[in-house]
Amino acid sequence: MERVPALDEPLKKSLGPATAKVMAEALDLHTVGDLLHHYPRRYAERGELTTLADLPLDEHVTVVARVADARVLTFNGSKGRGQRLEVTITDGSGRLQLVFFGKGVHKPHHDLLPGTRAMFAGKVSLFNRRLQLAHPSYELLRGDGEEPTDRADVWAGALIPIYPATAKLESWKIAKAVDAVLPSAVEALDPLPDALREGRGLAQLPDALRLIHRPRTKADIATARERLKWDEAFVLQVALARRRHADTQLPAVARRPAPDGILDAFDAKLPFTLTDGQRKVSQEIFDDLATEHPMHRLLQGEVGSGKTMVALRAMLAVVDSGGQAAMLAPTEVLAQQHHRSVTEMMGELAEGGMLGGADRATKVVLLTGSMGTAARRQALLDLVTGEAGVVIGTHALIEDKVKFHDLGLVVVDEQHRFGVEQRDALRGKGKQPPHLLVMTATPIPRTVAMTVFGDLETSVLDQLPAGRSPIASHVVPAADKPHFLARAWERVREEVGKGHQAYVVCPRIGDEEDQKKKAKASAEDEAEKRPPLAVLDVAEKLRTGPLAGLRIAVLHGRMHPDDKDDVMRRFAAGELDVLVATTVIEVGVNVPNATAMVIMDADRFGVSQLHQLRGRVGRGSAPGLCLLVSEMPEATPARQRLAAVAATLDGFELSRIDLEQRREGDVLGQAQSGVRSSLRVLAVIDDEEVIAAAREEATALVLADPDLTGHQALRTALDALLDKDREEYLEKG
């Protein structure tokens, strides 16, 4: 029987079934290698107290601190008299209260005497507007002779590793488990080629693993982190370089626009001039389309920077060359919106084969899942015969029965909403691989683009077209200053009074489906936090309260498509004053007369999402107003995030803030299933030099050895990164 490599050993062999089960369920760690790559989040020093000032609300934290005082209080509860132990811990700059109730007070009351140093782990909650840990786990660091001897040498080093932990598995238990498997690190296969490692003076992998878990000095940590960052950056960049290399080997039909074709006719009838940015990016795309291997280009630009115009010109260039172009949108609302705006922009050029259509016209068809049978059959016929040069649709475009006459270009809108399978399924409908343009309105810092979209060339539209108005943004602290919220509704009335319209955005729908999900939420969560505000509830309160008399409608993802389209049409036509909606309006919705947006429970949305939503107002000549309503206290990270959004309209700056503020595990979405181990020490914002250097090294290596025949350990690392569950990683934003 073949011996299992040490790092592939299941954890239950080393740690026992009970601990291994908790590791698997709580942290998704299954093998010795998984645990060795579960690095400490930070390190506490024996002579230094950790900061309590910046503890994040609702997160599970581990702190090292000293007990300042402890007292037992007696209180009268519903079940008679009870006891509560209140312990105050300090780190010299901040203080934090710990509370224990009932029978749970006796042991901590005995252990946690004033002056005692310990590690405490628990979930940070808010009580009487003060942060506290209720019933935290703890591990004494200075015992009174009772500390077990096997723990003493764990903490003998100068630096105490603090691991990403959970309620079921505290940091010190993870440290003990790491000790049990650390000897296996000597068998770690090194993915870095020797020449690269030696040329850049990097530590060997077994040494780096030992130093990251059990450093003696800060220099040890730096040595380990530098090496492990290179592992992550290089393996990922090799995966991307191989993908780019494979794409250059594919054949494609060069698509060059015919002179005096539909593109020239379209440009001639434009009522405005293109921005310099639109011209430059269009030229980059036309150059790519003229080559005989498929274009793979990412077009990123601010909300309203004119991406759709650039994409439409590319699509018309392909139609001119005799091919067809398909645009894939993530929602029916957005697909319908794109179809409307494209046909409006093209006018008679979109009426190919119809009475009144221009000589050089084509057909623009819409294909969505909810279309009637007759309309759907006609759309499918127009695609297979080539009658329709442009098709705009949702996932319905990917279905087997959809056939094209000659698919030359695929445009994917809002790339982060689609996985690799969907993108590839549409690309597979061309006789040869079609050219590909992916668009996103979520600004992406350069390092993230190199890391996540590393298989794509990048174009950036950073100019807003003339005529776009500024958007003023303000935080409305509803709990601290209720009169601010009342004033927000007055501002909405004022905008409507001027003939404008407004959006009110809520995080939840509030229908029966929502009620089912709410029922499943744990009682603990319900007690800690009220459910997010819901569209249906808020709309009703506004109709009968502060916005009574205004024409109010709702829009959310579970409405029938015809009803959604009807509401959007009425709002766009000015027949409604206020639209109360979920984030279904986040992308693509374009109503220039809408000038105000109130986002309820704004702290429940991410920075990029808030920026996207805000981009729905100020799209005409009148200035926009965005009000971010939150009940979170002023000092919380959530409020700081909202203040950052209110302070700048620069999407690239906000995307940087977003990445810096998100917890470890969220960045680049690697908290998604299976991508857990992708980026642990590599920080895409801070490590630009490492990422850029790794990209260069990876490109050179793949050029010399595309199949990696001479790099077996690197192949193994790639297989681990790109197993079945993780393939989407390369395509996700």
pLDDT value, residue 513? 64
Task: Give the pLDDT band (50/70/90) at residue 517.
Answer: low
pLDDT value, residue 502? 96
Q: Quick: pLDDT tens for 570-628.
A: 999 999 999 999 988 876 677 889 999 999 999 998 887 898 889 888 888 889 999 99
pLDDT value, residue 418? 57
pLDDT value, residue 322? 92
Q: Both tokens of residue 17?
A: 């079934």
pLDDT value, residue 44? 77
pLDDT value, residue 144? 43
Q: State how far the Cα of 458 lies from the Cα of 449, in Å rounded to an integer.
A: 8
Residue type for 133, please? L
Q: Quick: pLDDT tens for 216-258.
A: 899 999 999 999 999 989 998 998 898 888 888 888 899 998 8
Mean pLDDT of 710-726: 76
In the beta sheet, which residues pair with residue 380? none
Mean pLDDT of 510-535: 60
pLDDT value, residue 183? 92
Task: Give the pLDDT band (50/70/90) at residue 464.
Answer: low
pLDDT value, residue 258? 84
Place of tokens 């390092």: 447
Phi-psi group of 188: left, alpha or beta (phi > 0 → left; psi -120 to 50 → alpha; rest → beta): beta
Between the alpha carbon of residue 680 and those of residues 38, 186, 457, 670, the distances in Å are 8, 21, 26, 9
Mean pLDDT of 699-725: 84
pLDDT value, residue 156? 39
Answer yes or no: is pLDDT of 106 > 60: yes
Q: State how far the Cα of 269 lies from the Cα of 355, in Å rounded to an integer.
A: 20
- Give burial (CB, 10 Å; 0-12/13-18/19+) of 2: exposed
Other Cβ atoms less than 10 A from the Cβ of 134: the count is: 14
Q: Quick: pLDDT tens for 29-82.
A: 999 988 999 999 888 765 555 567 777 777 777 788 899 999 988 877 666 677
Task: Give the pLDDT band (50/70/90) at residue 360.
Answer: confident
> What is the b/e burial string over 169-197, where b = at least 16 CB atoms within 10 angstroms of the residue's CB?
bbbbbbbebbeebbebbeebbbbbbeebb
pLDDT value, residue 426? 73
Answer yes or no: is pLDDT of 154 > 50: no
Q: Quick: pLDDT tens for 172-185.
A: 889 999 999 999 99
pLDDT value, residue 661? 61
Q: Quick: pLDDT tens for 326-357.
A: 999 888 878 888 898 899 889 888 887 655 55
What are residue 413's phi and psi, to 5 degrees?
A: -90, 140
Answer yes or no: is pLDDT of 476 > 90: yes
Q: Both tokens of residue 236?
A: 């990922």
pLDDT value, residue 316? 96
R_g over Cα of the chain? 29
Provide the mean pLDDT of the chain: 82
Q: State how far the Cα of 706 lies from the Cα of 450, in Å rounded to an integer.
A: 20
Task: Give the pLDDT band (50/70/90) at residue 170.
Answer: confident
Q: Quick: pLDDT tens for 8-22.
A: 888 988 888 988 999
Q: Which of 392, 55, 297 is nearest to 382 (CA)?
A: 392
Q: Which of 412, 416, 449 is nearest to 427 (CA)?
A: 412
pLDDT value, residue 654? 80
Q: Is 485 helix (H, G, I), strand (E, B) or coil?
A: helix
Mean pLDDT of 685-709: 89
> Terminus-to-terminus CA distance in the chain, angstroms?
43
CA atoms within 13 A on the CB side of 458: 18
Task: Give the pLDDT band (50/70/90) at residue 677.
Answer: very low
Q: Quick: pLDDT tens for 261-295.
A: 999 999 999 888 888 889 999 999 999 999 999 99
Q: Which of 28, 24, 27, 26 is nearest to 12 (CA)?
A: 24
Contact 465, 272 (CB under 8 A): yes
Pairing, β 60-77 against β 578-581: unpaired
Q: Which residues contact 183 (CB under 8 A, 6 or more apart)?
A: none
- Least confident stretch, 151-155, 564-568, 698-702: 151-155
pTM above 0.85, yes or no: no
Contact 233, 694 (CB under 8 A): yes
Mean pLDDT of 547-555: 95
